[in-house]
Amino acid sequence: MSLPQGELYTIEDIYNLPEGTRAELIDGHIYYMAPPSRKHQEIVGTLYRKIADYIDSKGGSCKPYIAPFAVFLNENDRNYVEPDIAVICDKNKLTDKGCTGAPDWIIEIVSPGSRRMDYFVKLFKYRSAGVREYWIVDPDKNRILVYSFESEDTGDYSFSDSIKAGIFLDLHIDFSQLNI
């Protein structure tokens, strides 16, 4: 949820928040994040493992990261996000602080408090920043929306489907086999 505010905040303000406070910064507005649920974490962990195992098995150069992992979307100090999963294929974007620029693939797991952010605010932000592919995984709705911004395709899937990751030639994630 965004704080009512007259001023715009910067990444420095995010780093000055009290220890343990999770927040993102989009267009200068701070959005605080609630701790994730157990189911949320199980989904993140399982998807991350499948993606990382795939990349390792192919000897790929892409790197997957799980939140909290800093992504500085734009070349300004007003945008900082922590996607649930971010896959970065350009090593030049990686620094000790995180990723500078758009990851190739972002996956967000929807929580009750993040629904509007994941479906609308981040969708627009990720697309305009140059993210190649964005998945919105919504366990409460048994739904996975897949946006391939490069090909301008959108897919609407359920937890009984196997979904192909567009940024890789042959990675399919079978949600019916996730055992969550």
Residue 6 has what pLDDT? 66
Per-residue pLDDT of the chain (180 residues; tens, 9 = 90+): 444 456 899 999 999 999 999 999 999 999 999 999 999 999 999 999 999 999 999 999 999 999 999 999 988 899 999 999 999 999 999 999 999 999 999 999 999 889 999 999 999 999 999 999 999 999 999 999 999 999 999 999 999 999 999 999 999 999 999 877
How far CA 161 is from CA of 89, 102, 130, 155, in Å, comes to 26, 27, 27, 11
Contact 134/126 with Cβ under 8 angstroms? yes
Residue 3 has what pLDDT? 47
Helix or strand holding residue 161 (H, E):
none
Contact 24/82 with Cβ under 8 angstroms? yes
